[in-house]
Structure 1
Amino acid sequence: MVDIVDEINATHRTVGRAATPVGEARTVLLRRTYDTSMDDLWDAVTNPERLPRWFAPVTGEFKLGGRYQVEGNAGGEIIRCEPPRLFRLTWVFGEPAEDGFSEVEVRLSPGDGAERVVFELEHIAVTDPERWTEYGPGAVGVGWDLALLGLGLYLGGQAITDPNAWGESREAREFMTLSSNAWGAANVAGGEHPDAVAAMVANTTQFYAPDPPAGPSAP
């Protein structure tokens, strides 16, 4: 049984903006501390044999300049790699747009004590204004929260053995709902108007954790 509230509270979330060569980007940053060593965490997030145990199958060349593909998800190029502290990659669905920009950077640093590591993931992307207005940071933030949950459970010896079944569970719906709310709070803290954020959170929650179908009516 996953303690959903503790898992949500274990991650710090920040929403911001950044300049890119093609215009201003939106940023989402997740920060969480894991109980393991730098070398073990680096291996867990870069080793193609371990990635499917908590994230997804990933193929490609795991080196600077190499290209990768996440099964059923994004792909791109590894543009920085400084083991065991940092890697940065482009994150693109399908064919990259000429005016597009989407990159993910993962940073590891020693935590407050032995066998404690601070994990940071920052996704920087130039977003479609209409999509941002509709969903806000939760559009990608909830997905990254799920990844950090999977990583934490895996490192703690509690990996989810059937992600598809878990994704349809009440536990998963609660996690995704709370994640959507947490990204709403981070968005307000980042300067977005609360009324706009409320609509974003509602849309994101409905996308990730839609209301279950109504049962048969009572006679």
Structure 2
Amino acid sequence: MDIIDEITRAHREVGESGEAKTIRIVRHYDTDVDDLWDACTNAERIPRWFLPISGDLRPGGNYQFQGNAGGEILACEPPRRLRVSWVMGEAPASYVEVLLAAEGDRARLELRHEAVVPPEFWDRYGPGSVGVGWDLGLLGLALHLTGGEKVDEQHFHETPEGREFIIRSSRAWGEAFQAAGATPDQVSATTAATTAFYAPPPQ
């Protein structure tokens, strides 16, 4: 796995929508839109690169990722658009939208996550708190589409490649945060906190 290549394949943006904070990731995959849509929505394929999923997987239905988020399927327009609510524990719902499009012989994926974030949490972790997690998920999708092995979520951060990926992802979200207006001190503090959360120093 080329860590630098995987990081630079994604374009990252940080923004606001009313009171909500938003992150946006765009990256391309060497497949067609139909295959990418199937990988993102087929209950048999999703666990191969992300997490086991259950629920009533149709518009208006609900989904639940094992040990992670769940929510309602708000829009499903094959093979272009998927929008869901995203609920973790007792936290208020946030919203995730995935848009797919063909670009030449590749497929373009755009993911947007919108959430009202407590100010103290945003001040501590910034956009990397959710952005690094999505980078890891989209890395898993890339490996799946190219026939690679699934990332071991529990131990990936303990491997040299995994730790390097997380560090670079956290820095990349820091750069996107600064481009959105954060100060250098904010970027430095949130990047350090996010890195420590996803890849704590070895004991």
Is the TM value for this pair above 0.5? Answer: yes
Give the counterpart of 1:70 among 43, 60, 65: 65
CA distance in 2, matches of 1:165, 1:106: 27
Task: Write the letter of the residue equivalent to 2:86.
Answer: W
Q: What stretches of structure 1 move > 4 A for 4+ residues in a row?
A: none
Match of 1:51 in 2: 46
Deviation at 1:198, TM superposition (A): 0.7
Shift of the 34–153 alpha-carbon distance from structure 1 to 2, 3 Å rule, reads: same
Match of 2:96 in 1: 104
Match of 1:179 in 2: 169
Match of 2:3 in 1: 4
Task: Write the letter of the residue equivalent to 2:180.
Answer: G
Q: Judge conservation of contact 2:95–2:115 (CA < 8 Å) in 1.
A: yes
Deviation at 1:95, TM superposition (A): 4.0
Deviation at 1:159, TM superposition (A): 2.4
Q: Equivalent residues in 2 for 1:58-137 (5 A)?
A: 58-95=53-90, 100-111=92-103, 113-114=104-105, 116-137=106-127
> Aligned residues, how many?
203
Q: Structure 2 length normalisation: TM-score?
A: 0.96
Deviations 1:64-115 (A, max 9, x none): 101000111110001111110001000001245xxx340000000111x12x
Task: Write the letter of the residue equivalent to 1:49.
Answer: E
Match of 1:217 in 2: none
CA distance in 2, matches of 1:212, 1:178: 17
CA distance in 2, matches of 1:93, 1:165: 22
Q: Judge conservation of contact 2:157–2:199 (CA < 8 Å) in 1.
A: no
CA distance in 2, matches of 1:182, 1:7: 12
CA distance in 1, matches of 2:157, 2:185: 29
Match of 1:216 in 2: none
Q: Which runs of 5+ in 1 are unaligned?
A: 214-219
Shift of the 117–138 alpha-carbon distance from structure 1 to 2, 3 Å rule, reads: same
Q: Equivalent residues in 2 for 1:21-40 (5 A)?
A: 24-40=19-35
Q: Judge conservation of contact 1:160–1:166 (CA < 8 Å) in 2.
A: no
Deviations 1:185-214 (A, max 9, x none): 00000111111111000111111111112x
Q: Judge conservation of contact 2:157–2:166 (CA < 8 Å) in 1.
A: no
CA distance in 2, matches of 1:168, 1:126: 31
Radius of gyration: which is bigger? 1
Q: Which runs of 5+ in 2 are unaligned?
A: none
Query: What fraction of aligned residue pairs are identical, expressed as a percent?
Result: 55
Shift of the 161–90 alpha-carbon distance from structure 1 to 2, 3 Å rule, reads: closer
Task: Write the letter of the residue equivalent to 1:37.
Answer: D
Q: 2:154 aligns to what SS in structure 1?
A: helix
Shift of the 208–81 alpha-carbon distance from structure 1 to 2, 3 Å rule, reads: same
Aligned: 1:156 with 2:146: yes
Q: Structure 1 length normalisation: TM-score?
A: 0.89
Q: Judge conservation of contact 2:84–2:97 (CA < 8 Å) in 1.
A: yes
CA distance in 1, matches of 2:82, 2:150: 26
CA distance in 2, matches of 1:6, 1:173: 15
Match of 2:129 in 1: 139
